[in-house]
Copies of this chain bind each other. A is one copy, B any other.
Amino acid sequence: MMPTIEDVAKLAGLSPATISRVINNHPYVSQEKKDLVFKAMKELGYVPNSNAQRLRKQKTETIAVLIERIANPFFSQLVESMDIIANENGYKLLICQTNNDKRKELEYLNLLKTKQIDALIFASIESEWSVVENFLQYGPIVFCNDFAESASVPIIYLDQYRSAYTGTKHLIDKGYTKLSYCGGSKLTCLGRDRKNGFMSAVEEAGLNILDQWWFKDALTIEDGKQILRKISVMDNPPDAIFTGSDEVAAGMIKEAKSCGIKVPGDLAVMGFDNQPIAELMEPGITTICQPVKQMGIQTMDVMIDLLVNKRKLEHRFIQIPFHLVVREST
């Protein structure tokens, strides 16, 4: 059995309340009593239980970050930079891979309710805002990357509409006319804005998109390979593809080599994120640069400010700049 505060009290010949006052550094305790308490604590090997201490402070110094999956380089880099800022401010990160599962999100929201975390950051979101909203009373929530439209909290984001428009416009300016689009597995605000940006550029140019040129559930290198194989057997294939992901783009480029399809000669491939792989591939991947490090830092700065200065949550858009990186794949 671990020694308890009562054991310390007995050995020191003092009341448990006095022991507690010494542990918590309250004023008005004589040095003599302090010495007795410390001596008894040392003798028994008593460790103040931090859950008890945190309970009194009503703080856990822990922030949960909800992401799709940590092995996606975008999320691992985002978490890396968030973690550095959190640590500098005495906070730890609890990582939650939701895999777009609403129940999993709710589980972590409940940690806020039961005070096992102080705050929560959504870097991907599946739940309705009307569900999330109920948890605001228990601690600050901030959105980063993905978001819910009507959320009355800070949202750190990259303008998906404009970035997709810019990328698609680049393909059109290069002379491609048969455009294909890869989306994720769900239509969140992020996915919707990105698709709308693509469509705006397409409509502006008066282009026609065949049904078979739309792909969804495209997230990984393997997904990219599969899509490329589908394209390779089409009678009327697209001549350019907006993948929304450097991983998907890399998979397509790799598989194109096996299928005898030339990138960008037969098919231009456009990524998203500007992950290290985009530069390393041959041909290098034209992509939209998301400054992921800056996004992580800014999100955590906002969160720490909310926590430390006990600020009121308010709807606020904080925009992260993006830019087009042109390489050899388009």
Does B70 lie within 8 Å of A60, measured CB to CB?
Answer: no
15 A-B pairs within 8 Å (CB atoms) are namely A47-B138, A51-B51, A69-B80, A70-B76, A76-B76, A80-B97, A84-B97, A92-B96, A94-B94, A95-B95, A250-B280, A257-B282, A276-B277, A277-B280, A282-B282
Does A162 sit within 8 A of B, measured CB to CB? Answer: no
Q: Which residue of B lies closest to A113 (CB)?
A: B47
Cβ-based interface call for A7 (8 A)? no
Q: Which residues of chain B come closer than 8 Å to A55, judged between CB atoms?
A: 49, 51-52, 55
Per DSSP, are chain A's interface residues mostly helix, strand or loop, or mixed? helix
**A229 interface contact, C-beta 8 A:** no
Residues of chain B with a CB closer than 8 A to A60's CB: 51, 116
User: A249 to chain B: closest CB distance in Å?
Assistant: 11
Q: Is the CB of A276 within 8 A of B221?
A: yes
Kindly list chain B residues whose C-beta atoms are within 8 Å of the C-beta of A49.
Answer: 55, 114-115
Closest-by-CB residue of B relative to A220 is B276
Q: Which A residues between 39 and 80 are near B, CB-CB below 8 angstroms?
A: 47-55, 58, 60, 62, 69-71, 73, 76-77, 79-80
In contact, A97 and B83 (Cβ under 8 angstroms): yes
Contact with B along A110-121 (1 / 0, CB 8 A): 010111100000
Q: Are B97 and A221 in contact (CB under 8 A)?
A: no
B residues within 8 A CB of A87? 97, 104
Q: Kindly state whether residue A254 has any CB partner on chain B within 8 Å.
A: yes
Q: Closest chain B residue to A117 by CB distance?
A: B92
Among B52, B58, B93, B280, which residue has its beta carbon within 8 angstroms of that of A221?
A: B280
Q: With CB as the reference atom, state the residue of chain B lying closest to A281.
A: B280
Write out the residue numbers on chain B whose beta carbons fall within 8 Å of the beta carbon of A279: 254
Query: Are the CB atoms of B83 and A76 closer together than 8 Å?
Result: no
Tell whether, in the assembled complex, residue A77 and residue B73 are in contact, meaning their CB atoms are under 8 Å apart: no
Alpha-carbon gap, A164 to B84, bound state (A): 33
Chain A residues 215 to 274 lying within 8 A of chain B, measured CB to CB, are: 221, 247, 250-251, 253-254, 257
Q: Is the CB of B221 within 8 A of A115?
A: no
In the complex, what distance in Å separates the CA atom of A221 from the CA atom of B282? 16
| With contact pairs A49-B115, A51-B54, A115-B50 given, residues A79 and B94 touching in the complex (Cβ less than 8 Å) | no
Chain B residues near A84: list those with CB within 8 A. Answer: 97
A51 touches B115 (CB 8 A): yes
Given contacts A51-B54, A70-B83, 15 further A-B contacts (CB under 8 A): A48-B114, A49-B114, A50-B115, A51-B55, A62-B94, A70-B70, A70-B76, A70-B80, A73-B73, A87-B104, A92-B96, A94-B95, A95-B95, A281-B282, A282-B282
Closest B-chain residue to A84, C-beta based? B97
Cα-based distance from A115 to B46 in the complex (angstroms): 12
